[in-house]
Amino acid sequence: VDAIAVVDVLRATTMVATLLHHGASAVIAAAEEALARALAAERGALLAGEVGGLPPPGFDLGNSPASLDRAFVAGREVVLFTTNGTRALCAVAEHGRTVAAAAVNLGPCARWLARFERVLVVCAGEARGTSFALDDFAAAALLVGAVVELDPGRAAGDGARLALALPEPLDLIPAAEHASTLRHLGLGADIEAAMAVDTVALVPVVVDHGDGWARLQPTGA
Amino acid sequence: VDAIAVVDVLRATTMVATLLHHGASAVIAAAEEALARALAAERGALLAGEVGGLPPPGFDLGNSPASLDRAFVAGREVVLFTTNGTRALCAVAEHGRTVAAAAVNLGPCARWLARFERVLVVCAGEARGTSFALDDFAAAALLVGAVVELDPGRAAGDGARLALALPEPLDLIPAAEHASTLRHLGLGADIEAAMAVDTVALVPVVVDHGDGWARLQPTGA
């Protein structure tokens, strides 16, 4: 594999892209909550994320792209811990060039990925990645569609072929079980934020990683 | 879960349904080749199946529903071993009422499943179930669609919602990677056989199972 895109559209990878869009200097994705706390304290970084959809006690921010305040995050490094997405980023980072992809930065991610021959799109899913999440597959389908549009001759595996057979992937994001969970938590605005295709003109790339963490910074596309 | 349907449309569950349709008295799905050989010898049963798509030396039959001869299998018990499908059947059988579902027996399987509240559809996939297979998901999508048509109020999880979003699931069976493999092996007729929706009017139900085997017999629907 030459390049990997991790998708957790509700909400971790949307959050990573939006944090960088609002001027955060870097996002450090953490695989465990305790490590996130330690990294934030050690680096004087903001601590953001969720457990069960909501920020744990002592966190500076949740995992809500819709409620981000540019004044609060601009110029700051942010450590982000979430149940599935940041774990997926950390797990994948050691296997190759990795980006955090979402619908908000769809076009830039597709252009970045299309430069590589063998591309893997990883859906973060639910329950630490052991369970299928429709929202992530829908966003991955948008991404696969955009890459194939840029490079129509590209070979596709069975998962990508399924993605390409979907007529309206974007409509499946609010139809996902996790979207219902967010609405019940009063976080419906994050679903709309996550569906705002191509409002963020950057690609969050993993620039450094270690045991349980991956540091992302923006690149253009 | 109240009922489980295992789908390996290319070709194991299509083969199970077709064997019973041609009058086999029972099919014993085996999880390992050596066990299949031992069971067939012990019971005086026909030995059928494939490794890499083709029958291993000494097998009476391959895993090819298109080339089944009624005169050869009618009234016989058949032990079937395949790389993914029979393993999936054996793995699932201990978790509840299990049927082998395919496109050929779509309507009967859907009617049988629709009687139960909590239904799980398991796609056999590739590489011992660790890899996604588009053909199995396509057939599972047909099945989910047929169950929901019989019972429109039924709740669906994310996987089923994805299945229901596909406009033409049947078209995806010949588009799957495994379909290409079969065509390269000269087994393209099995793809057409597997796509012959509702040509088999029975439901293969697991009636007995043990360590590494599951015995299926037909029931109506």
pLDDT tens for B7-18 read 999 999 999 999
Q: What is the pLDDT of residue A128?
A: 85
* Strand duo B26-30 + B213-219: pairing: antiparallel
Interface predicted TM-score of the whole assembly (ipTM), two decimals: 0.94
Kind plus residue range of the DSSP H or E element containing B120: strand B119-123
Alpha-carbon span A122 to A116, nearest angstrom: 16
* Closest alpha carbon within chain A to B160: A134
Residue B78 in this model has a pLDDT that exceeds 60: yes
Q: Strand, helix or coil at A138? A: helix
Q: What is the pLDDT of residue A130?
A: 85
- The per-residue pLDDT for range B200-215, each reduced to its tens digit, is 999 999 999 999 999 9
Mean pLDDT of chain A: 97
- Read off the pTM: 0.95
Alpha-carbon span A207 to A63, nearest angstrom: 22
* Closest alpha carbon within chain B to A177: B158
Contacting residues for A191 by C-beta, under 8 A, at least 6 apart: A10, A173, A174, A179, A182, A183
Contact A161 B172 (CB under 8 A): yes
* Closest alpha carbon within chain B to A138: B162
Contact A175 B161 (CB under 8 A): yes
The tokens for A158 are 């069975």
Contact B137 A162 (CB under 8 A): yes
Contact A161 B134 (CB under 8 A): yes
- The per-residue pLDDT for range B106-156, each reduced to its tens digit, is 999 999 999 999 999 999 998 888 899 999 999 999 999 999 999 999 999
The residue to which tokens 């009234």 are assigned: B75
Residue B221 in this model has a pLDDT that exceeds 80: no
Does B127 contact chain A (CB < 8 Å)?
A: no
- The per-residue pLDDT for range A119-158, each reduced to its tens digit, is 999 999 988 888 999 999 999 999 999 999 999 999 999 9
What integer is the mean pLDDT of A188-213? 98
Q: Write the CA distances from B139 to B121, B132, B152, integer angstroms.
A: 10, 13, 19
Chain B neighbours among A 150-189 (CB < 8 Å)? Answer: 157-159, 161-162, 165-168, 171-172, 175-177
Contact B158 A177 (CB under 8 A): yes
Q: Decide if A7 contacts A194 (C-beta within 8 A).
A: no
From chain A, pick out residues whose CB is under 8 angstroms from the CB of B172: 161-162, 165
- The per-residue pLDDT for range B86-113, each reduced to its tens digit, is 999 999 999 999 999 999 999 999 999 9
Residue A118 in this model has a pLDDT that exceeds 80: yes
Contacting residues for B186 by C-beta, under 8 A, at least 6 apart: none
DSSP type of residue B55:
P
The tokens for B28 are 């014993």
The tokens for A194 are 């996550």
Question: Is A58 exposed, middle or buried, given 0-12, 13-18 or 19+ CB atoms closer than 10 A?
Answer: exposed
- The per-residue pLDDT for range B26-69, each reduced to its tens digit, is 999 999 999 999 999 999 999 999 999 999 999 999 999 999 99
Contact B161 A167 (CB under 8 A): no
Q: Decide if B124 contacts B84 (C-beta within 8 A).
A: yes
Q: What is the pLDDT of residue A221?
A: 53
Q: Please give the share of chain B, as a percent, with pLDDT higher than 70.
A: 99
Shortest Cα–Cα distance, B175 to chain A (Å): 8
Q: What is the pLDDT of residue B130?
A: 85
Q: Which of A162, A168, A182 would best serve as a mutation to test chain B binding (most B beta carbons within 10 A)? A: A162
Name the E strands within chain A. 3-7, 26-30, 46-49, 77-81, 98-101, 119-123, 203-210, 213-219
Cβ-based neighbour number of residue A94 at 10 Å:
12
